[in-house]
Each structure stands twice: as structure tokens, then as C-alpha cells.
């Protein structure tokens, strides 16, 4: 079946612009995660959804970052008033509910803020 | 901040040799997972080892876990050029957060 998809794959934004990044998880996966990966680093947790409920948003760097998953499937990560330090790859992952389940990652969105 | 740290940061070996990379972490875990990332296929799950397991095998991969030392190792046997990638450990502390390490960049020379 289809894996996790993300769009756009690449996004260039001018500093101050708002961006929206989309994630389509694997159908039926209850858990959805967003990560931020800087160049040469491992992914860093941003936020976690269980169905439509955002259970953990402790990793969001600032109040300019906002994520939603209104119907418990597709999720959007929005960054307002982008800054150069927001440049990174944003990864989405989904998994079945419960412990000891692997996460399936999308290809990521590479965001470059000029 | 990232809980896990992989060691070495970079590793270069000849095809056919074994590659060993290590991961250390800081807090108690439910499980530890290893992932591979390359530009062609993104981040791919390799193997999961539960906190009550000490060793696990999958094909050419062997993972060990020592919870007393808070460390894990990933061994890739008979390496191939296609194994060239970055390898990350990720720990599940049971709080929904999967904490990734800093990664080991493996280069397998043909």
C-alpha cells in the first residue's frame, strides 16, 4: 500500500512568509509525528497526534509553529513569519497505536528560508 | 535536545567488512529502534529491540541492548556499497516522544 507522503517536497520562502506543510499518513495509522531535521543532525521531535488530538506539542520551537490534524488523518504543519533558523527538513511519520510499533516516515519537506 | 549519541560520527570501510556503530542514551526506555537514512529512500526503520531483550537479528543486522549501560550497538555484517547511509538510533521513553541520536555516517567503499 501507499506509504507516508508529504508535500511539497521542497519549499523556498522569503523571511516573514507563512508556510504550510502537508502530511498524508498511512491509512489507519492512529499516531502521527512531526520532526525537524537540521543538516547533519538527527530528527528532533516537534509534536504528536493520536487521531485528531494533539497530545504533545512540547517540541514546537515557538508559537510561530502550529500543527493540526482535524479529521484524524491528514496533518498540516504551519509556520508563521518564517525565519532563517526555520530552514530544515520537516519529517512526518505515522504508526499504529501502542508501544513497540515502528514509525513509517515520509520523504520530508525541505524548507529553505531566504 | 537529542538523547542519543551515536559513535563513531563517521565510519568508512571496505565492501565485505563488518560495520559496528554504537548508541548511548540517557533515560530509561521502552524500546530502542535503529533507522537508516539516505537521500534515495529517506528514513527507513531497520529493527526494534525491546527493553527486556538483549540481542536481536534481522538478516545481516545484529542489534544488542545493554540497559544497565544505557547503550546499544548495531552490527552490519558483510557490508555492501548500498549500505552507505546515515544510521540513527531512536529511543521510545513511553511518552510519545521518540528521541533520535546524532547519527553515524557510514561509507562503504566498493
Interface of A with B in 1-60 (CB under 8 A): 31, 33, 35, 40-45, 48, 50, 55-56, 58-59
Greatest alpha-carbon span in chain A: 40
Q: Give dist(CA A90, CA A110) in Å, integer.
A: 6
How many CB pairs below 8 Å do chains A and B form together?
A: 63
Q: Give dist(CA B55, CA B59) in Å, integer.
A: 13
Say which residues have a Cβ less than 8 Å from residue B49's Cβ, sequence separation at least 6: B31, B32, B33, B55, B56, B63, B64, B65, B72
Tens of pLDDT, residues B41-58? 679 999 999 999 999 999
Tens of pLDDT, residues B26-42? 988 989 999 999 876 67
Tens of pLDDT, residues B72-88? 999 999 999 999 999 99
The sign of the torsion formed by the CA atoms of A43, B102, B45, B28 equals: negative
A61 touching chain B per CB within 8 A: no
Residue of A nearest to B6 (CA): A42
A99 touching chain B per CB within 8 A: yes
CA Rg, chain A, in Å? Answer: 13
Please report residues of B whose CB lies closer than 8 A to that of A40.
Answer: 103
Q: Say whether A42 and B103 touch across the interface (CB within 8 A).
A: yes
Amino acid at each position: 500500500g501507499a506509504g507516508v507522503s508529504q508535500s511539497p517536497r521542497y519549499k523556498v520562502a522569503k523571511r516573514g512568509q507563512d508556510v504550510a506543510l502537508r502530511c498524508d499518513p498511512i491509512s489507519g495509522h492512529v499516531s502521527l509525528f512531526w520532526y525537524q531535521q537540521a543538516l547533519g543532525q538527527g530528527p528532533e521531535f516537534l509534536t504528536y497526534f493520536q487521531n485528531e488530538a494533539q497530545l504533545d506539542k512540547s517540541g514546537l520551537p515557538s508559537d510561530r509553529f502550529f500543527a493540526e490534524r482535524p479529521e484524524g488523518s491528514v496533518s498540516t504543519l504551519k509556520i508563521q513569519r518564517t525565519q532563517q533558523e526555520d530552514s530544515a527538513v520537516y519529517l512526518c511519520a505515522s504508526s499504529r497505536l501502542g508501544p513497540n510499533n515502528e514509525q513509517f516516515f515520509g520523504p520530508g519537506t525541505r524548507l529553505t528560508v531566504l | 535536545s537529542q538523547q542519543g549519541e551515536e559513535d563513531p560520527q563517521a565510519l568508512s570501510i571496505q565492501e565485505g567488512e563488518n560495520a559496528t556503530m554504537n548508541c548511548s542514551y540517557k533515560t530509561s526506555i521502552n524500546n530502542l529502534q535503529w533507522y537508516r537514512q539516505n537521500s534515495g529512500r529517506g528514513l527507513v526503520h531497520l529493527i526494534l529491540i525491546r527493553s527486556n531483550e538483549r540481542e536481536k537479528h534481522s538478516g545481516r543486522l545484529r542489534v544488542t541492548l545493554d540497559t544497565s549501560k544505557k547503550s546499544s550497538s548495531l552490527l552490519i555484517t558483510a557490508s555492501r556499497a548500498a549500505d552507505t547511509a546515515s544510521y540513527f538510533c531512536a529511543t521510545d521513553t513511553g511518552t510519545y516522544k521518540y528521541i533520535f541520536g546524532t547519527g553515524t555516517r557510514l561509507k562503504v567503499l566498493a
